[in-house]
Structure 1
Amino acid sequence: MNVTWLMRMAKWARRPPSMLHVKIAAVAVLAVIVIVVVDKLGYWPDWAKLNPRGLRNWKP
């Protein structure tokens, strides 16, 4: 493990994030999970999907 990551973990142990930051992160993770589940179930609209074939030969 890098020394930078150890220092960052020590900083977080001394001063953990506020409950507001934890709630914001939890809502963001929950939103991503909901979007992935809706897409896997087939309810995500076609206009919101990315067409990877169309971007392969894209030139500005």
Structure 2
Amino acid sequence: MNMLWLIRAKAWAKRPPSTKRIIFVFGIVAACVVLYLIERAGLLPEWMQLEARTGRGGMRF
């Protein structure tokens, strides 16, 4: 483990994040998980899906 991580952990233990921040972070994580599960189930609308690329192409400007 890097020494910097130990210093950060010490600072976080002294001043933990607020309850609102914890709820906010877990809400974002939950939203990402829900979007992933909806995508895997095939329930996304067509406008949210990526177009399939064919061949060997990159972005053209």
Matches of 2:4 and 2:24 in 1, distance apart?
25
TM norm structure 2: 0.84
Post-superposition offset of 1:52: 5.4
TM norm structure 1: 0.85
* Greater RCO structure (CA 8 Å; 6+ sep): 1
Post-superposition offset of 1:50: 2.3
Stretches of structure 1 that go unaligned for 5 or more consecutive residues are none
Q: Which stretches of structure 1, 4 residues or more, deviate above 3 A after TM superposition?
A: none
Q: Percent identity?
A: 32
Bigger proportion of residues as helix: 1
Aligned length: 59
Q: CA RMSD in A?
A: 1.5
Aligned-partner residue type, residue 58 of structure 1: M
Stretches of structure 2 that go unaligned for 5 or more consecutive residues are none
